[in-house]
Amino acid sequence: MRAIAFRKHGDESVLEACELPEPTLSARGVLVRVKAVALNHLDVWVRRGWPGLKLALPHVLGSDVAGVVDRVGAEVDDLAPGTEVLVNPGLSCGACEPCLAGRDNLCRHYGIIGETAPGGYAEFVHMARQNILPKPKALSFEQAACLPLTFLTSWTMLVERAKLRPGETVLVHAAGSGVGCAAVQIAKVLGATVIVTASTDEKLARAAALGADHGINYAKADFVAEVKRLTDKRGVDVVVEHTGVTTFEKSIACLTRGGRLVICGASSGFDAHLDLRVLFYKGLSLLGSTMGSKAELFQVLKLVEEGRLKPVLDRVLPLDQAALAHRLLENRSQFGKVVLVP
């Protein structure tokens, strides 16, 4: 099959077109013909590599896949070839206590396609039956591919971890990112007031169209001072943090007493500073979050079907322009998701 893969870690130039063996179909597996695959910053991190990351090379990136069932394994009797589907990218053992309790994202063996297993920058991707969901009928393949990883991540951050309540105020960083676009919409569905940060006024305007109540251009103003002004010095109840060291300490400063910071990534660096006196004196909660359970994606898709959550598609590029797509993400040139099509 045709694919875009890398044989060594590095900048976007390591991505190359190649021919790879078609995935082997397992008894409980589904072979999906990829129609669209959306990028995430995870793709960039995996391509660059980090200490301890061990991959079978060449490695195929791509966590967010929408496509058509090509073939099913001998033990799959409820999916027919030609069915339009969406892939849940989370992988787990399916047998441990967290998996059986519906908390599969806490499995010791948890992984994500495109990160720890071959992903969707290819003609085909192989998934277990439990990772296959129906594609929302009203969406194109390109739109559907924008949903799984970032919407599931944001849903888990706000609903399961931070337990955001109606009437609370939430600060969402990097409104133009996939997580940012999803978090704004989910927070509004939950009845919160949403403050966003972004690097340009154009991105703030687009975030307002998604439902954001207030926007802060962090290139022009100190977001802590602006949050204090917007909340009459009270601060926010929840911060959606995924940028890391450049914002972490200031995010803590934005929280009101009893506030919660929930974090799912550290794109700007992980070696953050925390004054423990602030943590205990203000009664703050720091919450880590990675993806979400398989069941939670069904809840997200229900709201998508109802039109209450919408994918945010920035642009579509052919698969052989994966390197350009990576540069767009690294330069923060997009608002929403960049999608590749074979």
DSSP string computed for 320-336: GGHHHHHHHHHTT--SS
Full-model pTM: 0.94
pLDDT for the residue numbered 98: 95
**Exposure letters 138-168 (e unless 16+ CB within 10 A, then b):** ebbbbbbbbbbbbbbbbbbbbbbbbebeeeb
Per-residue pLDDT tens, the chain, 342 aa: give them. 999 999 999 999 999 999 999 999 999 999 999 999 999 999 999 999 998 899 999 999 999 999 999 999 999 999 999 999 999 999 999 999 999 999 999 999 999 999 999 999 999 999 999 999 999 999 999 999 999 999 999 999 999 999 999 999 999 999 999 999 999 999 999 999 999 999 999 999 999 999 999 999 999 999 999 999 999 999 999 999 988 888 899 999 999 999 999 999 887 778 888 889 999 999 999 999 999 999 999 999 999 999 999 999 999 999 999 999 999 999 988 999 999 999
Helix, strand, coil percent content, the chain, rounded in steps of 5: 30, 25, 40
- Find out whether 275 and 251 touch, Cβ atoms under 8 Å: no
Task: Report pLDDT for 197.
Answer: 96
**Residue-level pLDDT at 246:** 85
Domain boundaries, the chain: 2-147+311-341, 151-288
Rounded to the nearest 10°, the torsion over CA 185, 177, 285, 216 is -80
At 169 the pLDDT is 98
Distance between CA atoms of residues 219 and 197, nearest Å:
9
| Confidence at residue 240, expressed as pLDDT on a 0 to 100 scale | 96
How is domain 151-288 classified at the CATH fold level? Rossmann fold (3.40.50)
pLDDT computed for residue 270 by the predictor: 81
Q: Annotate 220-256 with DSSP letters as a single string.
A: TS-HHHHHHHHTTT--EEEEEE-S-TTTHHHHHHHEE
For residue 24, what pLDDT is reported? 95
What distance in Å separates the CA atoms of residue 185 and residue 191, rounded to the nearest whole number? Answer: 10
Position 20 scores a pLDDT of 97
pLDDT confidence of residue 333 = 87
- The CATH architecture to which 2-147+311-341 belongs is Alpha-Beta Complex (3.90)
